[in-house]
Structure 1
């Protein structure tokens, strides 16, 4: 089993966390939603796995490349 970091592709605020630690996710499942410039940007799982860490909270500000979650694939 490999740990996979899930990173943001844009600077923004964590608007809503959709998944919880321990949940099974499929490739492209939305883990959280960022808000940037009044747009909602989904952050998705790059592959199938189980969420082992969520490193941000709703309302946090993140920059491009921030690791927001980890899955075990």
Structure 2
């Protein structure tokens, strides 16, 4: 989930990819600051719900990991 609102500037994962806790999933930009969104758990990416250029709000789901 997005910790804060912003614009997606980079998506670093794709559906089917295996991630570990601590892996960077994507990067958000807000007020000219870029903030990485980090995986809190290990698993497989089942859905990527955003693309570069998308505006997101705090609390919005961005990636689903199973």
Normalised by the length of structure 2, the TM-score is 0.96
Unaligned regions of 5+ residues in structure 2, if any?
none
Unaligned regions of 5+ residues in structure 1, if any?
1-6
Q: Counterparts in 2 of 1:1-73, with a 5 A limit? A: 7-72=1-66
Q: Give the distance between the partners of 1:49 and 1:42, measured in 2 at CA.
A: 18
CA RMSD of aligned residues (A): 0.6
Q: Give the distance between the partners of 1:58 and 1:29, measured in 2 at CA.
A: 18
Normalised by the length of structure 1, the TM-score is 0.87
- Between the two proteins, the alignment pairs up a number of residues equal to 66
Q: Where is the strand percentage greater, Structure 1 or Structure 2?
A: 1
Structure 1 stretches of 4+ moved >6 Å? none
